[in-house]
Structure 1
Amino acid sequence: MKIIFFSAKPYDKQFFDRYNTNTGLTFEYFETHLGPHIVNVVENAIGVCVFVNDKLTADVIKVLASKGVKIIALRCAGFNNVDLEAAKQYGMRVCRVPAYSPEAVAEHTVAMLLTLNRKTHKAYNRVREQNFSLNGLLGFNVHNKTVGVIGTGKIGKAFCKIMLGFGCHIVAFDMFHDEELKAAGVTYLPKEAVFKQADILSLHCPLTHENHYLINKDTMGMMKKGVVILNTSRGGLICTTDIIEALKERHVGQLGIDVYEQEEKLFFRDLSENIIEDDTIQRLMSFPNVLVTAHQAFFTEEALSQISQVTINSIKMLSAGAEPFNNAVILL
């Protein structure tokens, strides 16, 4: 049984081939993302395996269905890039990796915070040039700061635990309250109250129609002047044009993003010899108080191992008419 991978990088092939033993599955890899331009290459495959920037629109799914594809396997947690109604219409099964080393993303979020605050990236470059001045490297103590967390699922929970270890006060918003976090000292508040109280605000929620552009001119207007905003979830949670204005007005003190709302045109590629036509990301990266990483937060040995194993297991079980474990199935 053949599975065709899209947006496949060398590390995807390395990990999926490593764990594809005695499964009866064969893998074919395409580096390009899945969309209308490439969908017709799918032949004799029971499923496709896709990532965050693949576009499974109704038209793409219709073509996949006509070619006999039965399974859409997301090797990620989010699924906002899949038209689930179309998949249901054509009788496809959709699965994902609901939890893979949440500590990987949480730890990267903390790394971004500390890098922005203590400016270690700038210090590294200075010292390599024999510049040992401390001017311009002033930071602040993270200890005793109020950290706002939007979303306390597995990743948000892991982030909360780390920040509690720093001696921070944690205020959080989630539709479902985690009793373990409450017992540890996390205070759940309405979303607006979290915005108002946070010195540092970190986003750990999925992208939905309801929270698209959650961070916008109005919500940032509720926040403290100098607030630090971190986003390792989905780019569409932040209105980029609004946050650029907030940075220019010095209302947002620092911004760390591992995701970007137009990232599919940029991330996971080497564009060092190209002229980037996205003026918005260029403007964003021009700020000295902005740190951008290219959807790197998940990128650990442990996370890639779990992603590969869970995805392969889900495909194997779905193809056999069984149900995967760990709530991996989105669409029955």
Structure 2
Amino acid sequence: MIKVAFFSVKPYDEDIFNAHINSANSKDTERGLSRDKLQASYFTYPLNEHTAISCQGFDAVCVFVNDEVNKATLTTLAKLGIKHVALRCAGFNNVDVKAAKTLAIAVTRVPAYSPETVAEHTLALMLTLNRKTHKAYNRVKEGNFSLDGLMGFTLHNKTVGIIGSGKIGQAVIRILTGFGCNILCYDPAPCQKLIDLGVRYTTLEDLFVSSQIVSLHCPLTHATEHIINAKSLALMPKGVMLINTSRGGLVDDKAVIHALKQGHLGYLGLDVYERESELFFSDHSQDIIQDDTFQRLLTFPNVLVTGHQGFFTHEALNEIANTTLKNIHSCANGCLKTTGENWVR
């Protein structure tokens, strides 16, 4: 029996994972397979250095984007005999990978769970901000059919700068190509398929200078932290649209607020936020939110924020569960190499 502690669990997580676990265990029994069955325990609270002690008696832990898997957390996990941290997400910036390697704890992730899911949410933010459908909806509900203040622009022939051309970035590019956009891209590892599609790779500075829309699809690393800052925003044309469905730490909030106040940044769409762990995935409608920066962002009429829901579709959740459980079984059976790019080295 493989015992796994799941952290930061919501009801939909438990439903999806239970369905996959029960199905797999049942099929193994029917086929007479001797593969170890998986036993899951679900915790609604996050994993961090203070809660890691609750992992006593488990073989592995499964965590999400806002769990704090730092050196202190990993040290406690190692003392408790945990051999595997399974991320049920693509990013791993919340894990001290170097410490995990030193402590002989394997780290896996889900690098490609329906990239179209996040790509489509990216386009939803772009189109909603541009055509102001959220405002139009509220107006019509109130019997107001005035078009004043709802003017948008045509995406066709606009230049869109994509930072990061991994699977999600590629999916966004394919959709925008269908809209007739001109695509600029920045990535240390250019993709030949995109080049063949007509995408032009360029420098980061040229991308900022030339793009009417900038969309972020890169991981959060030391090199990309606050890649959107006062300097990069100043390079962008007045009225530029900025979209971030990747990681909150890519954006310097104070610089963005200044650009919004100056009228330089024309539109801002966020599905992630640098300090989202204190807010997202919970109902704070009856609370006084203490994050003044976040509250200031919400005061701008040209800012649209969603609570890290870009991944939230049936298809993506099922793929996340399927890949995560495969990673757990592979690690438990000493077959880490079979997880390929899922294994964070």
TM-score w.r.t. the length of structure 2 is 0.95
Residue type of the partner of 2:3? K
Residue type of the partner of 2:330? M
Contact 2:165 2:186 in 1 (8 A): yes
Contact 2:65 2:94 in 1 (8 A): yes
Describe the SS at the equivalent of 1:156: helix
Query: For the residues of structure 2 that align with 1:273 and 1:193, how far apart are their CA atoms?
Result: 45
Greater helix fraction, Structure 1 or Structure 2: 2
Determine the structure 2 residue equivalent to 1:215.
Answer: 228
Query: For the residues of structure 2 that align with 1:41 and 1:180, how far apart are their CA atoms?
Result: 47
Determine the structure 2 residue equivalent to 1:77.
Answer: 90
Query: For the residues of structure 2 that align with 1:57 and 1:169, how far apart are their CA atoms?
Result: 41
Contact 1:80 1:207 in 2 (8 A): yes
Pairs aligned (count): 331
Tell whether 2:181 aligns with 1:168: yes
Determine the structure 1 residue equivalent to 2:32.
Answer: none
What does the per-residue CA deviation read over 1:168-197, in whole Å, with 9 as the maximum and x for residues that have no partner? 000110111111111111111011100100
Deviation at 1:37, TM superposition (A): 2.5
Tell whether 2:343 aligns with 1:329: yes
Deviation at 1:36, TM superposition (A): 2.1
Tell whether 2:104 aligns with 1:91: yes
Is 285-294 or 175-184 further displaced after alignment? 175-184
Determine the structure 2 residue equivalent to 1:193.
Answer: 206
Residue type of the partner of 1:5? F
Query: For the residues of structure 2 that align with 1:86 and 1:147, how far apart are their CA atoms?
Result: 38
Determine the structure 2 residue equivalent to 1:109.
Answer: 122
Is 31-40 or 103-112 further displaced after alignment? 31-40
What does the per-residue CA deviation read over 1:42-84, in whole Å, with 9 as the maximum and x for residues that have no partner? 1210000000100011111111111110000000011011111
Tell whether 2:144 aligns with 1:143: no
Deviation at 1:326, TM superposition (A): 4.4
Determine the structure 1 residue equivalent to 2:16.
Answer: 15
Residue type of the partner of 1:8? V
Tell whether 2:69 aligns with 1:68: no
Contact 2:230 2:256 in 1 (8 A): yes
Query: For the residues of structure 1 that align with 2:19 and 2:123, how far apart are their CA atoms?
Result: 30
Query: For the residues of structure 1 that align with 2:165 and 2:70, how far apart are their CA atoms?
Result: 29
Tell whether 2:263 aligns with 1:262: no
Written as runs of structure 1 = structure 2, the 5 A alignment for 1:119-134 is 119-134=132-147
Tell whether 2:319 aligns with 1:319: no
Written as runs of structure 1 = structure 2, the 5 A alignment for 1:278-289 is 278-289=291-302
Contact 1:203 1:231 in 2 (8 A): yes
What does the per-residue CA deviation read over 1:279-307, in whole Å, with 9 as the maximum and x for residues that have no partner? 00000011000000010001111110100
What does the per-residue CA deviation read over 1:227-281, in whole Å, with 9 as the maximum and x for residues that have no partner? 0000000000000010000000011000001000000000000000111000000
Residue type of the partner of 1:19? H
Contact 2:330 2:339 in 1 (8 A): no
Contact 2:164 2:217 in 1 (8 A): yes
TM-score w.r.t. the length of structure 1 is 0.98
Written as runs of structure 1 = structure 2, the 5 A alignment for 1:219-234 is 219-234=232-247
Determine the structure 1 residue equivalent to 2:31.
Answer: none
Query: For the residues of structure 2 that align with 1:26 and 1:157, how far apart are their CA atoms?
Result: 36
Query: For the residues of structure 1 that align with 2:11 and 2:56, how far apart are their CA atoms?
Result: 22
Identity %: 52
Residue type of the partner of 1:14? D
Describe the SS at the equivalent of 2:165: coil
Contact 1:148 1:195 in 2 (8 A): yes
Tell whether 2:53 aligns with 1:52: no
Query: For the residues of structure 2 that align with 1:295 and 1:58, how far apart are their CA atoms?
Result: 26
Unaligned runs of 5+ in 1: none
Determine the structure 2 residue equivalent to 1:294.
Answer: 307
Determine the structure 1 residue equivalent to 2:29.
Answer: none
Query: For the residues of structure 2 that align with 1:178 and 1:163, how far apart are their CA atoms?
Result: 16
Query: For the residues of structure 2 that align with 1:96 and 1:325, how far apart are their CA atoms?
Result: 9
Tell whether 2:248 aligns with 1:235: yes
Determine the structure 2 residue equivalent to 1:309.
Answer: 322
Determine the structure 1 residue equivalent to 2:3.
Answer: 2
What does the per-residue CA deviation read over 1:191-220, in whole Å, with 9 as the maximum and x for residues that have no partner? 110010000000000000011100000011
What's the RMSD between the two structures over aligned residues? 0.8
Query: For the residues of structure 2 that align with 1:89 and 1:77, how far apart are their CA atoms?
Result: 22
Contact 2:109 2:342 in 1 (8 A): yes
Unaligned runs of 5+ in 2: 26-35
